[in-house]
Homo-oligomer: A and B are copies of this chain.
Amino acid sequence: MKSAKDIFSEYLSKQKLKMTPQRRTILDAFLNEEGHVSSEELYNMIRKEDSSIGQATVYRTLKLLAESGIAKAVDFNDGVLRYEHKYGHDHHDHLVCEQCGTTIEAVDPEIEHLQEELAKKHGFVLTHHEMYLFGVCKECQDKSE
């Protein structure tokens, strides 16, 4: 199976773009992250090790990573765009705790199927979807008792 780095390299050359040390650094940092990173978070992590990389490059590279299919943009409605791993990770939806901010990733095949049906009923051909379930997680429920 191809590594994320291979995918990215291939994407770059296909688009006649270039691999650079900065892009490598940012890709590595991104791959080392779990969860959902914002551009700024990633920038701060990277800066600790290589302070010569600029914010703009991180923004630009994350966009490229999304285009190449390695990253996926997710929006929790808090004003910051985050990115999560996409390549090698299955599609999933998000359960977001409104109190502590924890997010859980989950999929329900039945829901996925019904979404297709619903789209078809309205004449749509789906390209992708986003589902966010907002609520209170177990821990926060216990806490507030």
A residues with a Cβ closer than 8 A to B are: 73, 75, 77, 95, 97-98, 104, 106, 108, 110-111, 114-115, 117-119, 121-138, 141
Q: Are A135 and B124 in contact (CB under 8 A)?
A: yes
Chain B residues contacting A98 (CB-CB under 8 Å) are 127
Closest CB of chain B to A128's CB: distance in Å?
Answer: 5
The oligomer's copy count stands at 2
Known pairs A115-B133, A128-B134 / 19 extra A-B pairs, C-beta < 8 Å: A95-B118, A95-B124, A98-B127, A106-B118, A108-B114, A111-B115, A115-B131, A119-B133, A122-B138, A123-B141, A124-B136, A124-B138, A125-B135, A125-B136, A127-B135, A129-B132, A129-B134, A131-B131, A131-B132
Closest CB of chain B to A97's CB: distance in Å?
Answer: 7
Chain B residues contacting A136 (CB-CB under 8 Å) are 124-125, 127
